[in-house]
């Protein structure tokens, strides 16, 4: 469904960019992904479109820029309403926004605390990460997806972060499947969706990318 | 069926004030329940088990947490009066961006202007002024962030104003001297009855901040 030109300023490994890509794919929206070199020199378009944070993703719809992945996904949902990501009921929408906000506040920082550790990963970092996943399991309950029977807003916000989990498991010496089987089952359900399966990068590649990052930051 | 609306809140919280302004803008009757943040009530812990923080809106028994989320909820449920978020999705995305910027930048930076000293405090003051200048840039020549009308971003930001006297006194600086346009916007907001009534007295906030500084032993 054409509704103007859509461009995404992107980085392949960024879970935040992946959120936007999954949302666009779910809606069947065609777009151009432009890879940014985050370490070699950000493009003029990126710096102009996101002068405050200078970060990806940036969504440009007919040249108008939008920043911050959760806000971008919200915009995509409102502009291309079918199929809906956010629930139609205001209370359920508030709950979805709450869990998206929780994920934004907690998950990536916990992931980074593990892979940025020098030497052995502290138990506190591992435990904090697992605790967060357990809280998300509580929010999931008995549902297949956070969105209920199908992929919803919270699923789109959460699933891209999971392609970094393999790296976290390697460094932390644990498996999400053992510690949080319900969460692991939800990950597998999401991966059965074509949009998610073809968009999420290979976790091995992400692991190699994380090793590169560690070398860049001088972490042994 | 009458709506039952309860707000769990703390009088000096800039996050709670956001919700109070939103409820007032929509003309919603509600019961205000002051919370003791040093001795949290079973109701608060039950209604916000994840973060255990105020504000919490309880609407017909169901809780909504996180001030920006509560304000959006209020705007959606009571949509026939005083719209807070813009109608257009792109403008809405911009409003959410600036509310998020305020959430990311204002609290931690402003807190350091009174909760730290020496070099850390000086750095915090500089950063705080920079944040206000960035917001001033976004405001431009508009009367409000929402344009001609008071809106979501204005509502998210104005509650910080009752803490400015504390930041300025402990930090030894003046917002008006550094960002006069910002203070002009504040004055316009305070002309709204909903805002003027919701903001507590800045001197009372100052007394409260003085007690907090004692508690965390700043000097």
Q: What is the pLDDT of residues B129-188, one digit of tens each?
A: 999 999 999 999 999 998 999 999 999 999 999 999 999 999 999 999 999 999 999 999
Taking only residues 160 to 179 of chain A, the set having a beta carbon closer than 8 angstroms to any beta carbon of chain B reads none
Q: Quick check: B44 contacting A, CB < 8 Å?
A: no
pLDDT along chain B (219 residues), means of 10: 91 98 98 96 97 98 98 97 96 98 96 95 96 96 95 98 97 94 96 98 98 84
pLDDT of residue B128: 97
pLDDT of residue A171: 93
Q: Are A68 and B96 inside 8 Å of each other by CB? A: yes
**SS3 letters across chain B:** CCCCEEEEECCCCHHHHHHHHHHHHCCCCCEEEECCCCCCCHHHHHHCCCCCCCCEEEECCEEEECHHHHHHHHHHHCCCCCCCCCCCHHHHHHHHHHHHHHHHHHHHHHHHHHHCCHHHHHHHHHHHHHHHHHHHHHHCCCCECCECCCCHHHHHHHHHHHHHHHHHHHHCCCHHHHCHHHHHHHHHHHCCHHHHHHCCCHHHHHHHHHHHHHHHCCC
Closest chain A CA to residue B65: A98
Q: Are B70 and A94 inside 8 Å of each other by CB? A: yes
Write down the ipTM of this complex. 0.95
CB atoms within 10 A of CB A47: 11
Q: Are B93 and A74 inside 8 Å of each other by CB? A: yes
DSSP SS3 for A85:
coil
Nearest chain A Cα distance for residue B74, angstroms: 9
Nearest to B131 by CA among B178, B189, B66, B188: B178
Q: Are B76 and A93 inside 8 Å of each other by CB? A: yes
- Which of A61, A71, A79 lies nearest to residue B96, judging by beta carbons? A71
Nearest chain B Cα distance for residue A24, angstroms: 16
pLDDT of residue A1: 45
Tokens coding A74? 């919200």
Q: Are A71 and B69 inside 8 Å of each other by CB? A: no
Nearest chain B Cα distance for residue A205, angstroms: 31
Query: Exposed, middle or buried, A138 (CB in 10 Å: 0-12/13-18/19+)?
Result: exposed
Taking only residues 132 to 161 of chain B, the set having a beta carbon closer than 8 angstroms to any beta carbon of chain A reads 134
* DSSP label at residue A159: G
Residue whose tokens read 């989320």: B69
The values of phi and psi at residue A87, to 5°, are -65, 160
Low-confidence ranges of chain A (pLDDT < 70): 1-3
Nearest to B205 by CA among B1, B11, B46: B11
């Amino acid at each position: 469904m054409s509704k103007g030109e859509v461009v995404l300023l992107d980085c392949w490994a960024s879970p935040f960019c992946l959120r936007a890509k999954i949302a666009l794919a779910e809606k069947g929206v065609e777009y151009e992904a432009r890879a940014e070199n985050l370490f070699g020199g950000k493009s003029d378009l990126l710096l102009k479109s996101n002068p405050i944070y200078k970060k990806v993703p940036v969504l440009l719809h007919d040249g108008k820029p939008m920043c911050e992945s959760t806000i971008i996904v919200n915009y995509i949902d409102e502009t291309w309403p079918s199929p809906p990501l956010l629930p139609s009921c205001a209370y359920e929408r508030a709950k979805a926004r709450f869990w998206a906000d929780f994920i934004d506040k907690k998950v990536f920082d916990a992931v980074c605390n593990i892979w940025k550790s020098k030497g052995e990963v502290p138990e506190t970092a591992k435990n904090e990460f697992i605790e967060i996943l357990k809280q998300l399991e509580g929010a999931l309950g008995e549902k297949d997806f956070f969105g209920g029977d199908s992929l919803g807003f919270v699923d789109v916000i959460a699933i891209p972060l999971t392609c970094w989990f393999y790296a976290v498991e390697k460094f932390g010496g644990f498996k999400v499947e053992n510690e949080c089987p319900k969460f692991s089952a939800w990950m597998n359900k999401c991966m059965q969706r074509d949009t998610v399966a073809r968009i999420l990068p290979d976790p091995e590649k992400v692991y190699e990318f994380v090793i590169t990052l560690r070398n860049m930051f001088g972490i042994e | 069926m009458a709506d039952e609306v309860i707000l769990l809140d703390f009088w000096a919280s800039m996050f709670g004030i956001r919700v109070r302004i939103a409820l007032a803008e929509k003309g919603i009757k509600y019961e205000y329940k002051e919370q003791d943040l040093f001795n949290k009530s079973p109701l608060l812990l039950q209604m916000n088990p994840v973060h255990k923080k105020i504000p919490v809106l309880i609407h017909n028994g169901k809780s909504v947490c996180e001030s920006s989320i509560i304000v959006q909820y209020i705007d959606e449920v009571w949509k026939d009066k005083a719209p807070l978020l813009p109608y257009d999705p792109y403008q809405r995305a911009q409003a959410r961006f600036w509310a998020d910027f305020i959430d990311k930048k204002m609290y931690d930076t402003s807190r350091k202007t009174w909760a730290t000293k020496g070099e850390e405090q000086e750095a915090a003051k500089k950063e705080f002024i920079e944040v206000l200048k960035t917001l001033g840039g976004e405001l431009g020549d508009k009367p409000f962030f929402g344009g001609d009308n008071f809106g979501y971003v204005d509502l998210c930001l104005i509650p910080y104003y009752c803490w400015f006297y504390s930041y300025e006194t402990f930090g030894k600086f003046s917002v008006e001297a550094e960002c006069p346009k910002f203070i002009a916007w504040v004055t316009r907001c305070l002309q709204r009855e909903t805002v003027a009534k919701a903001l507590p007295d800045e001197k009372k906030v100052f007394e409260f901040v003085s007690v907090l500084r004692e508690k965390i032993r700043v000097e």
